[in-house]
Structure 1
Amino acid sequence: MKFSFSAFIKGQRSRRAPVTTADLSGKTILVVGANAGLGFEATKHFATMKPGRLILACRSETRGQEALEKLRAEINCTTAELWILDLADFGSVQSFADKFEREGGRLDIILANAATILPKYQPTRQGWETCLQVNCLSMPLLALLLLPHMVKTAEQYGTVPRIVVVASEVHHWASIERRVVEGPNILGTLGSKEYCTSKAMGTRYFLTKLLNIMFVRAMNKHLSTTAPIVVNAVNPGYCYSNIRTTFSGFQALIDSLMERAIALPTEIGSRQLVWAALGMENKPLGLKGEYISLEKVEEVSDYILSPEGATVQERIWTELVQILTKAERVSEVVNVHL
């Protein structure tokens, strides 16, 4: 589907429905990036639905604690708790999963909301470009490590757990350069210092959203048919957000003008995340592998749907699994569930 700038503006001005609600009694909800922005607003919505357990996964203990205290004060949610998770470090993801192995138990929803935008190349401890690792490597690692808990939850409680990845309509304006595709290692190239020039970093966020949707579609394709797990991607729309605080100069000026003209309040954007996690309650499997926008399934970009996109998606999935199987237990998860 061709996605024009006029279609983007039309979407921003579309009427938004009230937040979707459900009874979350006894259920465990995990929100990654829960201390601010869309993540915090979605967490607030979940907190009003009496969740059995609401886990706020945050990088900063200080900001996470502030969010937790604010949540308790505003919503009086007594089942919320803070867990530390730094997606810029695979070790932190592994530690988080180890903690869940010991203390987690049931897991019904993962809202994979955290993302970052950086203007320049910055490597992580593992040597990947930070945006790529945070947005596209660590989140799949977390999903794979926690997948057995979701499968077990489905079996024990007869439910359909969901993994919701926050994507964006900007994926329509992204593709992967042919010189990268023609090389032997797509992710390795995209995450390298040599590739991450100022020009490449200028469109890095768009690219990571494309990769997010490819991950959702690939994971859904490879999931065992016996595992009733919904993995989907959701577009919250263009909202007021602190994710763009790294912008400077002309880019910051344009973003500021756009915010004033068309940006949605963060709470309104968060309703889309909640719908992806709770919507179509009677037919949840209808959302498997789908891209959601304005509370309905939408077609993804022409690039993803093209023969080249399908080939690239499968190659990236294979590379991703090879990268992530270096972490403990991932090989077992892949062999059993994928």
Structure 2
Amino acid sequence: MSTKTAIVTGANSGMGLATTIELARQGYHVIMACRSEKRGQQALQEALRQSGSTAIELMLCDLGSLESIRHFAQSFRERYDTLDVLVNNAGVVLLKRQETSDGFEQAIGINHLGHFLLTLLLIEPLKSAKQGRIVNVSSGAYKAGKIHFEDPHLHKGYNPIKSYAQSKLANVLFTRVLARKLAETRITVNCLHPGAVGTSIGVDRNTGFGTRIMALVGKLPFFLSPEEGAQTAIYLATSPEVAGVTGRYFYQQKDQELKAHALDAADAERFWTWSEEQVGLRPEEKL
């Protein structure tokens, strides 16, 4: 039996690293898609050590750069014909408004638009798999989210919760429309809420804020470890129980009903079209 291949974004720490280690333990060849060479190499050594696998590699991908994403996808397709699992895990929460190199507000740029482009550029290798799976790490924060169509990049009235919640609702809408567009293929796409995971997600490393937050969450019993938080992503990526399930939202390995605003088909389609325009999707790349 040939080895299955998986890509995990944001694999250098937290849930991404935990997901990488567990997939490698289960026999997957795992590509860690990381932005930083230094942090990526450190995480790669940790993943190799903890998993006991030798089938893990690092490939650089900055989800905040459309150019970097295109380069990553092309490099992957040149080396691999098949992709069995794509775990779109990378995410940021930002205290103050910042922009990506393409001028996107960072939360929607990295958490949604970067993964949107990456996923669409990897559809062909996913189609080549026996049963390709796309797993989008969302959050229960989607419930507080709204797509601000009049100002999606939040030039006015920015706050971290508004920004993060919009990006996590974006993950859900993306999942639902993508599942519909791929309904005639063998690819499934699902999203999940990992729970309250004590990781350093997106906290600016240069402010010192991250250290204080990590000191706090490390002592609070209601925060899950990254390994616990990764369980639902691993379940959706590997379990035979969900082989035919698509377009759904999971929490604690169980299918959950979505709130009404996340089921608005017209909003979801409108947002998809906006996303295509933002990332400059070419006609031949559209589904």
TM-score w.r.t. the length of structure 2 is 0.91
Structure number with the higher helix fraction is 1
Distance 1:140 1:257, change over 3 A: closer
Cα offset, 1:256, TM superposition: 3.6
Structure 2 match to 1:48: 25
Structure 2 match to 1:276: 236
Q: Does 1:124 align with 2:95?
A: no
2:70 aligned to 74, 78, 94, which one? 94
Q: Which runs of 5+ in 1 are unaligned?
A: 1-23, 154-158, 184-188
Of stretches 124-133 and 240-249 in structure 1, the one that deviates more from structure 2 is: 240-249
Q: Does 1:213 align with 2:184?
A: no
Q: Does 1:227 align with 2:185?
A: yes
SS of 2:7's partner is strand
Structure 1 match to 2:272: 317
Distance 1:115 1:259, change over 3 A: farther
Cα offset, 1:270, TM superposition: 0.9
Per-residue CA deviations over 1:205-254 (Å, capped at 9, x if unaligned) read 1111111000000111222x4311101101111011101634988xx77x
Contact 2:197 2:229 in 1 (8 A): yes
Cα offset, 1:110, TM superposition: 0.3
Q: Which has the larger radius of gyration?
A: 1
Distance 1:78 1:316, change over 3 A: same
Match runs of 1:183-262 below 5 Å: 183=150, 189-192=151-154, 194-195=155-156, 197-198=157-158, 200-223=159-182, 225-243=183-201, 245-246=203-204, 256=216, 260-262=220-222
Q: Does 1:113 align with 2:72?
A: no
Query: What count of residue pairs does the alignment treat as equivalent?
Result: 283
SS of 1:243's partner is coil
Letter of the structure 1 residue corresponding to residue 142 of structure 2: H
Quick one: distance in 2 between partners of 1:294 and 1:33? 21
Quick one: distance in 2 between partners of 1:106 and 1:173? 37
SS of 2:8's partner is strand
Q: Which has the higher contact order (CA 8 A, sep 6+)?
A: 1
Quick one: distance in 1 between partners of 2:63 and 2:247? 23
TM-score w.r.t. the length of structure 1 is 0.78
Match runs of 1:64-79 below 5 Å: 64-79=40-55
Cα offset, 1:25, TM superposition: 5.3
Quick one: distance in 2 between partners of 1:25 and 1:270? 25
Distance 1:258 1:71, change over 3 A: closer
Cα offset, 1:258, TM superposition: 10
Structure 1 match to 2:135: 164
Q: Which runs of 5+ in 2 are unaligned?
A: none
Quick one: distance in 2 between partners of 1:65 and 1:160? 30
Structure 2 match to 1:63: 39
